[in-house]
Amino acid sequence: MLSLSSSAVLAFTPAAAPAVVSRSAVRMESPVMAADATSRRELFARAGAALAGVGAVQAASAKAGEFGKVEIFSLVGEPAISSPYQPGGPKAGKEATFGYAKTEGEFLANGYETDVSREKAAFDLSCKIVSSQQANVDSKTWWLVRDNLRGQAYNMKANMLAINKVLDGPKKEEAKQAYAKFWKEIDSLDLACQKKELALAQKEYGDVLEALKAYRAVVGA
């Protein structure tokens, strides 16, 4: 009877549910994977330290006027692919070769100092603005006259100096004097506007236009 009862109980006992395995347990790194990651980190760290050491040694042993080079992307005995430095270092001046022993062809920057076409165009624009202030002076719009003149002063001076620089002979000195005369008249006009004196401002503005005309005649702009 005991054996039958036990069999009956076992027959009606539901089967045990399978154990549920979480995703976190599945994704858990094994000791071997962790060891591989550590090994890779150590390998990269050692490689970086070795490159830094090579650069330091080369920089310390470089001769005067030379720059250190780390030839990473080239084979032994071949020139570096991406290094911009060559023995001797960069040289100053319009014929700088940045360490190369000789040059080939014409320098791309030749004549850039004598080309003032852009400065002349900008100067012409400033001249138009300066020459269009008569109505503002006559209407006593002092703040607008001063604002327009000050807004052009920085660029206009730079353009005039660039134009003066390329002149030769007596014209160079004439342009220098005409430049100084023009800006002296501009200062006088600004002061007259600050004082808000109509007659004086009109007289000074006429002097500004005459000085500008004289400068343009000297430089041919």
All structural domains of the chain, each given as residue ranges with its CATH number in brackets, are 41-110 (no CATH), 117-219 (1.20.120.290)
Cα–Cα separations (whole angstroms), residue 80 to 47, 54, 60, 98, 206? 19, 15, 19, 16, 66
Higher pLDDT, 47 or 18: 47
Place of tokens 């005039």: 160
What's the rounded Cα separation, in Å, for the pair 126 and 148? 10
pLDDT, one tens digit per residue, over 73-128 is 455 555 555 555 555 555 566 666 555 556 665 555 555 566 788 999 999 999 99
Cα–Cα separations (whole angstroms), residue 214 to 19, 124, 163? 101, 14, 15
pTM exceeds 0.85: no
What's the rounded Cα separation, in Å, for the pair 111 and 124? 22
